[in-house]
Amino acid sequence: MDFADKLRASGLRPTKQRLRICKTLFDRDKTFHFLVKDLVETLNEKTEDQKISVATVYNTVHAFKKSGYLKQLNIDPNHNYFDTNISHHHHFFDESTKELIDLNNDQVEKIEIKKTLPGKTISSVEILVKVENK
């Protein structure tokens, strides 16, 4: 699916600002974990391009979150990370470097939760593994 289709599927027209945001987010080999602040900086560091406003970046990121092309993570109470890897997966958080690393579902033994809550059903199980230098 190309960028324009992703945008349309999120209810947004493919404008040049939004396409530049898509390129930064999705034109990558690996998962991209990012903070909105850093994304805005990256988008606006090349002085030859026209600046994209923070409002546009937030609007686009939230539309992608809503449509499922981005996930919002709970890693650090003081930083709001987004993730381009929308498959069900887990994370390592390197406390030394503040780096996030994907941990795929199949790299973790099935998690058996012995406690159940009456009237409730599990919608997701996510693991956060904090690591530091050995």
Q: Which residues bind Zn ion (CB under 5 A)?
A: 31, 83, 85, 102
> Is 85 one of the binding residues for a copy of itself (CB under 8 A)?
no
> Is 125 one of the binding residues for a copy of itself (CB under 8 A)?
yes
- Chain position carrying tokens 């973790």: 108
User: What phi, psi does 97 have (nearest 5°)?
Assistant: -105, -5
17 touches, from DNA, a copy of itself, Zn ion, none (C-beta below 5 to 8 Å by class): DNA
Say if CB 25 and CB 44 are below 8 A apart: no
Q: Are strands 71-72 and 89-94 parallel, antiparallel or unpaired?
A: unpaired
Q: Which of 107, 106, 61, 104 is nearest to 84 (CA)?
A: 61
117 touches, from a copy of itself, Mn ion, DNA, none (C-beta below 5 to 8 Å by class): a copy of itself
Nearest-approach distance from CB 4 to DNA, in angstroms:
11
Nearest-approach distance from CB 2 to Mn ion, in angstroms:
31
Closer to a copy of itself at the Cβ: 3 or 94? 94
Task: Name 39's Cβ contacts closer than 8 Å, sequence gap at least 6.
Answer: 21, 24, 25, 57, 61
Residues forming contacts to a copy of itself in the complex (CB under 8 A) are: 72-77, 80, 92, 94-96, 101, 103-104, 107-109, 111-115, 117, 119-134
